[in-house]
Amino acid sequence: MASLIIIIVSNVLLQLTFFSIVSSSNEYAQHLGGTSTFSGLVIGIPTVFSGLALLPLMRFDQGGYKRPLHFACGSACLGNILYGLAYRADWLYLILIGRIVTGFAFTFWMYCKRYCSDPRIVGLRRRTTLAGWLVLGQGIGFSLGPFVGGILYKVGFDNAVFNGFTSPTWIMALIWVIFWVFVAVFYEDVPKPAPSSSQDIALQPMPAHISADSADKDKSDDEEPTRVTAAQVEVPTAPSSPPRHRMSKAQWGVTATMCWFAMTCFFILGAWEANIPVFTSSHLRSNPFHFSPFAAGNLIALGGACTMPFLLLNLHFARRVQDRHTLATGTSIGLAGLLVALAILGEEKVNYGSLFICWFLVALGFNIASTVTLSLLSKQLPGEWNGRISLAIQYSNYSGRVTGAVWGGAGVKVGMLSYVGMQVAIVGIGGIMFMTLWKQLKAKTG
């Protein structure tokens, strides 16, 4: 139980680390000479390097989670410190370097997902529930992170090292150090798979043939020094390996659909989280706000906080509702938010209430939809494929996070209608895949 709690808490800390700089990154980048697009790159770039580090890390994880967890703790500490030092150094690219190093910590997102669908410790009917806990942590991260970051920006702390821009990362670095101590003391890794029994050697009994002159030989043998002779042992041939699982066309389709939705959810969530501070501080005619990072962080946090009761309800219903129904419900709610956003931007009737409703629907819908992408796939494919499945879903998440953050940062430049329209098109492609494979998406509940 302690190890499971550590995995879930690590996911929350990773989410907080990712989102705590969202509300002030645009102002921070501009203070150091960057642009809003560069700010979006700062938000999204960690996932690129996290994806690059995943495959080498998997060669050294020994099928467990302890090594990647320690690697994540160390990377998070160092990356947050580098981000905080950029203000003192007055070097724009140090915030990018700091986020890149922090990105190595985000490799553990894949291990969190893999842990919650690992057939060695998690049964089929618990996987969606545990995935729901990860999504709940995701909700805590993207609501609490920007809120605290916005408060720290407003307080300011008139200091060249610890100030409104850098204080979120200094605090997160301290939290990661404390958490690292708890990991070292309390975390126990999953049991390693038992060694194959095919290497055991079966000793064969030696037949005793007594010949007529055996008595004469016994006497001469007694006079000779004792010699140990190696008995011939027959080593049984290794049992044939189990037949390789070949994916059917339907399974390939389901895999592609889940990867597409994994990308879609994080593309849209990442785009909105990066765009809200940029749009609400812009000089567009459709923007009546001219928010500070504090106010933008509050808007992001309020939308995220309002999703929490519904994400808790999702945990309750995960054991009773099929994954495909959860995916359909979440995507429909998120799409409704996008369509409302298109309407108010087209009519230039944006106000706090309408923008909040759009963000709330987007945050709620695509967080719920992201619950089932891995759990559904893990229920349809062999348990020994869990590592490959987790990797495929995580790379899809990464691609969505980085492209979404950059797209959100550039939303004002490309035009807000084009910015939202692209998201609607991506959801539409997923909807076609989803409806085509509706029957094949059926899986056990839980």
**Do 170 and 80 contact (CB within 8 A), yes or no?**
yes
Q: What is the mean pLDDT of the chain?
A: 86
129-164 exposure pattern, b = at least 16 Cβ within 10 A, e = fewer: bbbbbbbbbbbbbbbbbbbbbbbbbbeeeeeeebbb
Handedness of CA 326, 327, 328, 334 (dihedral sign): positive
Asked whether the predicted pLDDT for residue 237 surpasses 80, the reply is no
**Do 108 and 134 contact (CB within 8 A), yes or no?**
no
98: its two tokens = 């700091």
Q: Give the tens place of pLDDT for each residue, 11-63.
A: 999 999 998 998 888 889 999 999 888 988 898 889 889 999 999 999 998 88
Q: Give the tens place of pLDDT for each residue, 160-191.
A: 899 999 999 999 999 999 999 999 999 999 88
Using alpha carbons only, give the angle 36, 47, 154 rounded to the nearest 5 degrees: 45
**Phi-psi label, residue 207: left if phi above 0, alpha if psi -120 to 50, beta otherwise:** beta
Interval 131-152 mean pLDDT: 89
Interval 206-212 mean pLDDT: 45
Percent above pLDDT 90 for the chain:
52
- pLDDT the model gives residue 219: 45
**Phi-psi label, residue 444: left if phi above 0, alpha if psi -120 to 50, beta otherwise:** beta
Asked whether the predicted pLDDT for residue 242 surpasses 80, the reply is no
Enclosing H/E stretch for 54: helix 36-58
**Do 444 and 125 contact (CB within 8 A), yes or no?**
yes
Interval 238-256 mean pLDDT: 73
116-to-10, 11, 387 alpha-carbon distances in Å: 13, 12, 11
Residue of higher predicted confidence among 259 and 227: 259
Q: Which of 136-150, 208-222, 338-352 has the highest mean pLDDT?
A: 338-352
Interval 307-331 mean pLDDT: 90
- pLDDT the model gives residue 401: 86
State the CB neighbour count (10 A cutoff) for residue 24. Answer: 28
* 107 vs 61: CA distance, rounded Å: 12
Asked whether the predicted pLDDT for residue 235 surpasses 60, the reply is no
- pLDDT the model gives residue 224: 45
Q: Which residue has the tokens 């995580």?
A: 394
Q: Give residues with Cβ within 8 angstroms of 400, minimum separation 6.
A: 262, 263, 264, 265, 266, 267, 268, 270
Tallying the residues shown for the chain, one arrives at: 446
